[in-house]
Structure 1
């Protein structure tokens, strides 16, 4: 009897930890073929740019469905499928977003993304796979791991098709808690290289132009203080002018 009670006691923490609320319709089972899956949307900027997203059948995937993002008209470069969930259950946790993507056509890339918005309106963790874009026609994993701030309000996730003609197909998503957010230790100070200084100068010029002169709604509402920090990190490590141009384009596309 004592052993039974001990076993029950040891199991209680696991049983008491309820799973986080699921993403709405993560496998795209709700909705008709050719239409947006329920719980997901394309921001106005993507719709205005001529993009469409709709459910397609694919029996090789869990649930047998994916979403295809394609530009049907216009010359816009950015089509984004997304949803937002309450950050409450994820506060103070490290989380992992997973999906798979594949690209058909030329010149386009696929990227999953995850962004944490805080209660005060500032942005927390952000990753849009700008350093590991998907270009293959075969299903390719897209994984993002990030930390959710204690004052987080929403966790925003999605995938977007950038540039080119063709289609991005996105497989079902999963969002899971990996554990508590680990302690953060600041990086030690270091001198910048000549290349790094030039990269930062180019980044600040682009930042100023898009922040103050670009007419998009996304640019008007962005947290530019946070983006300045993230963008500087992304740009500083570029090894050449083409590498820098690629990094800047991928970084600024969501706001330009």
Structure 2
């Protein structure tokens, strides 16, 4: 049976219209889902930061301190869901690295922490750096730095932002935090944590005072100084 040219054109126009309508109706939903995922990631980051900021600084009773690197303690939301220790076979420098390894079906996060008096660092800008290696990390691994005064934290940062967190399997990667220690700071705490399944090795921690012209890492994105994409020709975010 012959098909007229007008029918073909009508069919084509109809198909294009359907495709356009489908795109226009599903695009907002896709953008909404993307925003939801971003919000969930930010909420996870905030919850992790809160837990780290409120974690106790004393060793957890169920862990034998002989299994931990000297000077380090265990912290976290579910410390019992992780194991901690030294690995003399996997290290970036020296003779060993510290590791945090998840047990089956881990909850929250587990971490290593140490603290010291802030007297020599108050009013100064400091940098904490370390190298980390990961294997099968489902969620994230990061380092963190915190300043306390009168039993509460007054400055805090970690490397769990989207651009700095580590996940999956990777070789040695350096991460750093540059933070100003408030004049009223009393105690400085630092460490590393693992959230979710997998294993992270941490090596070559370094803590130092830096010049004031060294950029703070919390400000990872430069502030916008002029309008952009006013003619809408630069595509989507």
Same fold (TM over 0.5): yes
For structure 2, the residue ranges without an aligned partner over 5 or more in a row are 1-64, 215-222, 224-235
Identify the structure with the greater strand proportion. Answer: 2
Partner of 1:61, secondary structure, is coil
The 8 Å contact of residues 93 and 181 in structure 1, kept in 2 or not, is answered as: no
Aligned residues: 152
The answer as to whether partners of 1:148 and 1:181 remain within 8 angstroms in 2 is no
Distance 1:44 1:59, change over 3 A: closer
Inter-partner Cα distance in structure 2 for 1:58 and 1:39: 21
Q: Which runs of 5+ in 1 are unaligned?
A: 1-30, 183-187, 189-238, 241-256
Contact 1:105 1:167 in 2 (8 A): yes
Task: Check conservation: 1:92, 1:181, Cα contact below 8 A.
Answer: no
Q: CA deviation at 1:104?
A: 0.3
Match of 2:115 in 1: 84
1:65-84 correspondence runs (5 A)? 65-73=96-104, 75-84=106-115
Give the helix-richer structure, 1 or 2.
1
> Could you tell me which residue of structure 1 aligns to residue 187 of structure 2?
154
Distance 2:105 2:90 in 1: 32
1:54 Cα offset (Å): 0.6
Judged with a 3 Å threshold, the aligned counterparts in structure 2 of structure 1 residues 166 and 96 are, in CA distance, closer, same or farther, namely same
Instruction: Please give the alpha-carbon distance, in whole angstroms, between the structure 2 residues aligned to 1:109 and 1:44.
Output: 14
How big is the shift at 1:45? 3.7
Alignment of 1:41 with 2:73, yes or no, is yes
TM-score (norm 1): 0.53
TM-score, normalised relative to structure 2? 0.57
Q: Which has the larger radius of gyration?
A: 2
C-alpha distance in 2, partners of 1:36/1:70?
13
Query: Please, what is the CA RMSD of the aligned residues?
Result: 2.9
Q: Deviations over 1:60-119 (max 9, x none)?
A: 52212111101225531301111111101001110000101111014132100001112x
1:134 correspondence with 2:169: no
Q: Secondary structure at the match of 2:120?
A: helix
